[in-house]
Structure 1
Amino acid sequence: MNKLLMIINSSSGGGAEKVFNSLYGGLKEENELDVYYLYLKGNSTSRFWKFFAVFRYIWTLVKVKPDVVQSHLLFPNMLNVFLCRLFNYKSQIVCHSSFERFEGSKIEVFIKKLYGSAHSVICVSKEMANQAKCFLGKPGCVEAIYNPHDLEKYEALAEKNVQLYFDDYFVVVGRLIKSKRINDIIDVLKKTETKENLLVVGDGEEYHTLLSHVKELGMDSRVKFTGSVDNPYPYIRNAKAMLLASETEGFPNCLVESLALGVPVITSNCKTGPAELLGVSYQETKLKSVYKNCFIYPVGDLEGLEEAIKRFRGLNDNESELKGSVAALNLTDVVKQYSHSIGKLLNNKV
């Protein structure tokens, strides 16, 4: 049986890690490949963990002797491609963020050359795949495969009992970093004085900044932070809507999770993902209503976000419409797409 080694920095932290763990389980269960995994960081707390990760990876390559290595995120992708010829395996890199971030950067030329040497480049949205084809100049090795989602598991986890902070609230789920523009949401909620409160689920470097901002605005009673939680789904299920204000994404899992639970979304039209998920254009320059009570607005357009919240009228009375919009992203179907892509690599068709 052919061997697949999957690598990523760590087991938890964000959407890419969640995708990695789901894919590993799905590919393992298919039983068409002998599947191994490696978390490069391991249990290391050293700031030099990447140095030690190189040796951990080489040791694993010698031990496993994989036919294909699939990597996720920048550092694992670089390591994967850099060593694939030396250790005679096929490299498949999975990209979770927009290629526009490399344009004009110090590593642009390096990334073009290195990523362009990969045997297979998987992008988690169609727009990202288009970016990759232009950026790398090698359209033949690039394909788009959306993130896998265990939709039935979301439903089951959403039924768990948790302590809810509010009766009426919007929810934000994800890492608390600047590019998520969570402060936009807080500012707009203060301005609109809507009855809904805000629950922020997640942790990150912007936590203390956001907490201070909430206190400055006198919104302590209306905005609560849960910190990192293992099961965000009950909070999503009981929310009035999922809010996303990001300036950039790969393919935002939180929107899929929300729609899968029949909860409307209000999202920025960032690259990449939301426009494809809601069936609108990335070039849309105005607030647009999709389905009932789902809205998409231009990145940074606070007036558009404010208008969306004002026009929001509660939960969609047709949950099946929202759930149906993400049905094709189920874990089983996406795993089959990955299996097919890996099969092409093994058969030298890429």
Structure 2
Amino acid sequence: MEENEKIKLGISIGDLNGIGCEVALKTFEDSRMLDFCTPVFFASNKTISFQMKELELDIKYNGVQEASKALDGKINVVNVWKEVPKVQFGEGTKESGDYAIKSLRAAVESLKKGEIDVLVTAPINKNNIQAEDFKFPGHTDYLAQELGGESLMFMVTDDLKVGLLTDHVAVKDAPAAINAILIRTKVRTIEKSLQMDFGIRRPKVALLGINPHSGDNGVIGKEDEEVLKPVIREMYDAGHLVFGPYAADSFFGSDAYKNFDAVLAAYHDQGLIPFKTLSFGKGVNFTAGLSKVRTSPDHGTAYEIAGKGKADHSSFKEAVFMAIQIFRNRKEYVELTENALQKQKIRR
């Protein structure tokens, strides 16, 4: 990437029957956004034209056959398909799921080739994306397979960052899925992300308890005593600034989270309910630990308002800015690391 070249930001359009296209298009309706990046939508000219007509948006775009041909200063649309998909706003159809995956696959392939620098994914429906060749509970697991690394679902704002030990796992299965190896892996992943992606040199991480009141010393479940506490103690003794487990019911309401750079929740709703309560519309879902940068808004397909022009694009816009900033932070981190290594070699 040339020094003066804008970051190419890929967009997978998500479920065509949801609000994905709407929030993405509204974000770039403001032409000033083109000063920050070159957007590349993975869909088709006809699909984007249809969405704009239905949503009464008037945005000029440039159709291309591949992302490498995208033009700076323009909204670009890669023609992934030629046919015109049937759009039924508000309904989770098999067809809309199929096209969501077509868009995602094309965008990820382009990301792997280096044709785009970062990826922002619009919301999908986890039910209608299931197919013989796509059996993933969501974006995170698919991206982990395609992009490599130790993935971590990381919900972030400037002031609050919440990662998950287990993400799209049934509540009844979460405790059994948490073991020493998983905890160590997620802690290291979140620490590395805080350093590389957010510029925090010595991150402090809090872990939330698995059971109510972190088990009350084994009275309400033994997982906290037997699994979490020993690993936290071991990692702290090894120099990691990791603390807990903290009782989840009072941790956010008491503002205890403000004493840490990030929080690791034991399971999905334990982390996402307080995060979305405190940050809805400003939050970003970032997949940390991957070789490439991927973000998404902190909401779903919102079928109930799809096609009505009512969707708030704030979170998608934040996801765009977050992807750009993380990409820059990573580049700076790599440069600083390489310079430090070079200086060490010279001293020797």
Same structural fold, with TM-score higher than 0.5 when normalized by the shorter chain: no
**TM-score using structure 2 length:** 0.32
Higher relative contact order (CA 8 A, sep 6+): 2
Q: Taking structure 1 as the reference length, what is the TM-score of the superposition?
A: 0.32
